[in-house]
Amino acid sequence: MSEPIISFRDVVKEFPAPRGFRRGRRHGAAVRAVDGVTLDVAAGEIFGVIGYSGAGKSTLVRLVNALETTTSGAVVVDGTDLTGLSEARLRPVRAGIGMIFQQFNLLSSRTVAGNVAYPLDVAGWSRADRDARVAELLDFVGIADKAGVHPAKLSGGQKQRVGIARALAANPRILLADEATSALDPETTADVLALLQRVNRELGITVVVITHEMEVVRSICHRVAVMEHGRVVEVGDAYSIFSAPRHAVTRRFVASALRDRPSDAVLARLRTRHAGRIVTVRVDEVAGSSAQVMGALAEHGVTGTIVYGGISEVAERPYGSLTLELVGSDDAVTAALDALRRVTVVADHGTAARPVDDAGDLPAAPDDVVEPGQTRPTADLPPRLPGGGTFGGTTAALGGID
């Protein structure tokens, strides 16, 4: 990992107890929003902080630009320990950090150009330099044609582009994005995430993304920290976190994002619809290629038909799973399962008559949970895929799996 640009060293942040509690029996019980966090963010990465509401994500990130101060421990930003720094000494540190928010926080009285110019006005830029910089930024975020428009006339995605342009105005080294896509629809979210990726790649800016959506981590994060009750419970590169989540909270987040896994309800329907043995096999960079899966089945004369699943990308690497109906004699299917287990991770779901509850390292998706405003991208496939979709017998219909 390259040099850390942000370091948390055993950081604790407590807030005083809410008033009602102070008078009541839990007298003096403070809220520990961040509880002993030690973490490094490397220069040049897109780092995700994920957790459920109240986990302490916003507080952790607000410590970086000293919107909050630590109760104990240290936060070091770009080589400067923020502990005990005066407002005057914090100013240059803050100048190196841009921030964007869920609700955009734009000035309604200013135009788009005026909003982006605002931090430059405060910093005392000349009019000519400021106007040139604003034009350059609006061009970069793709809303040059909206320069004279007021925020009320913009869509959510356009508002967030203004927020990003404003955050980049003073050439920060770090961009903090606090739930920056949580108010946006899935398509606009994808556009804004792609823009954050350009900010990182083309401008070399370190991006810290706070989110409660694993989809955001899947799309753009290089590394991720999972928070629960103020603590970092798991940290690692995004691919490892998806492919081998250790903590229960991480597993729940991963299951919510990987909709290639059939939920228990879907499995029950698949077992009813297909008489053969239902199994799910993992497909990733090294395991479960179509050649490997076909080979394992063909070796034992078993036919495999894809009935559910999909392959997508995590951190730009292939990842997903396929659920197959295996047809053959009992002995052949058992032998084929053993052969499959030698080439990839397998979950055996059994048959309608003999269902097996063996999720193993391939946990089922949460039961038919669809986020508001989202559709489930994977679906039960018809019993036979037109034009192929059969392993072992003929060919694999799906692309990108070997």
Ligand X SMILES: Nc1ncnc2c1ncn2[C@@H]1O[C@H](COP(=O)(O)OP(=O)(O)OP(=O)(O)O)[C@@H](O)[C@H]1O
Binding residues for ligand X, rule: CB under 6 A, are: 15, 31, 33, 51, 53-59
- 166 neighbors 105 (Cβ within 8 angstroms): no
Residue closer to ligand X by CB (options 53, 109) is 53
Q: Considering the complex, what minimum distance in angstroms separates the CB of residue 363 from ligand X? A: 24
Q: Considering the complex, what minimum distance in angstroms separates the CB of residue 375 from ligand X? A: 24
Residue closer to ligand X by CB (options 50, 254) is 50
**CA-to-CA dists, residue 245 to 319, 323, 386, angstroms:** 14, 20, 35
Q: Considering the complex, what minimum distance in angstroms separates the CB of residue 207 from ligand X? A: 17
Q: How far apart are CA 231 and CA 338, in angstroms?
A: 40
- Phi/psi at 174 (5° precision): -130, 135
Residue closer to ligand X by CB (options 44, 54) is 54
Q: Which residues touch 40 (CB under 8 Å, ≥6 apart)? A: 1, 4, 6, 7, 8
Q: Which candidate, 211, 208, 249, places its Cα nearest to that of 77? A: 208
DSSP 384: S
Q: Which residues touch 333 (CB under 8 Å, ≥6 apart)? A: 276, 277, 300, 302, 326, 327
CB burial of 276-286 (b: ≥16 within 10 Å; e: otherwise) equals bbbbbbbbbee
Residue closer to ligand X by CB (options 213, 284) is 213
Q: Considering the complex, what minimum distance in angstroms separates the CB of residue 50 from ligand X? A: 9
Q: Considering the complex, what minimum distance in angstroms separates the CB of residue 100 from ligand X? A: 15
Residue closer to ligand X by CB (options 52, 118) is 52
Residue closer to ligand X by CB (options 57, 223) is 57
Residue closer to ligand X by CB (options 169, 257) is 257
Bridge-based pairing of strands 346-350 and 277-284 is antiparallel
H or E element, residue 234: strand 231-237
Cα 85 to the chain's mean position, in Å? 33
Q: Which candidate, 106, 127, 123, places its Cα nearest to that of 115? A: 106
Amino acid at 245: P
Residue closer to ligand X by CB (options 141, 208) is 208
How many CB atoms within 10 Å of residue 399?
A: 8
Q: How far apart are CA 61 and CA 327, in angstroms?
A: 53
Q: Considering the complex, what minimum distance in angstroms separates the CB of residue 210 from ligand X? A: 7
Q: Considering the complex, what minimum distance in angstroms separates the CB of residue 8 from ligand X? A: 14
Q: Considering the complex, what minimum distance in angstroms separates the CB of residue 10 from ligand X? A: 18
- 272 neighbors 352 (Cβ within 8 angstroms): yes
Residue closer to ligand X by CB (options 55, 75) is 55
Q: Considering the complex, what minimum distance in angstroms separates the CB of residue 231 from ligand X? A: 11
